[in-house]
Amino acid sequence: MRVEYSFNDQQNEALDGMLQYRSMLLSLMGNLDEIQGDAQQLINAMPDNITDIQRKIVETACSLVGKVNYFWGGKYSQIGWNPEWGSIKQVTAAGSPTTGTMRVYGLDCSGFVSWVFINASGNLGSDSIIGEGTKSQWANATQISWSDAQIGDLTFYPDLSHVGIVVGVDQNGNVSIANCASGANNVVITGKSGFTIIARPSFSMFNSM
């Protein structure tokens, strides 16, 4: 940044000041036990009549809210925090206006879904079952009605360009969806705006749902 934008002395001083807190900020971001306020409220509001895996899905999805940037092609098929999240990397996956640019590394929407299922189930093979991309995640799910929405169901944009996970359903049938959104450049919890399709993963851990 200093070289690319030819920082002056004042800008360099300001950057140095911010970098003093970089380690602390990165450690806070990587703490999966620290849940942001809105996400924590969602966890606290979970009903009693859900399965253990559904509860784990909500907790796992909420653990990344506000912490991981959107990165086209970003995947991580391991348990826990990826130490490379937050670093600067080149976007190498084709098909995005960001391809070839340098961005803060994180997850894309389907990468987030895959990471949540891997970590919620503790199964490193979960990504091969649920799929790594939106189209494969759609292919590994069965479309249902919005009125049948349950925690753990997947929601899609009509062209399958975006996917999220249902992490809450209120008494009026309104859903809360955790998704890694390019517009917000982070993991967020939203309503169903933009999501027109809902489907239930054909994942063995959902047989009891």
Q: Which domains does the chain have, with CATH numbers?
A: 39-206 (3.90.1720.10)
* Phi then psi dihedrals of residue 40, to 5 deg: -65, -35
Q: What percent of the chain has pLDDT over 90?
A: 67
- Whole-model pTM? 0.84
Contacts of 181 (CB under 8 A, 6+ apart): 70, 109, 162, 187, 188, 190
Contacts of 192 (CB under 8 A, 6+ apart): 146, 155, 174, 175, 177
Report pLDDT digits (tens) over 139-197. Answer: 999 999 999 999 999 999 999 999 999 999 998 999 999 999 999 999 999 999 999 99
Structural element, H or E, at residue 178: strand 175-181
Average pLDDT over residues 101-105: 93
The predicted structure's pLDDT at residue 156:
98
- Report the candidate in 28, 5, 161 with the shortest Cα–Cα distance to residue 86: 28
The predicted structure's pLDDT at residue 121:
87
Handedness of CA 125, 137, 55, 34 (dihedral sign): positive
- Report the candidate in 188, 123, 113 with the shortest Cα–Cα distance to residue 152: 113
pLDDT at residue 21 greater than cutoff 50? no
If one counts every other C-beta atom within 10 angstroms of the C-beta of residue 55, the result is 17
Which of the pair, 194 or 130, is modelled with greater confidence? 194
The predicted structure's pLDDT at residue 9:
77
Average pLDDT over residues 9-19: 68
pLDDT at residue 24 greater than cutoff 50? no
List 165's β-bridge partners, or say none: 154, 178
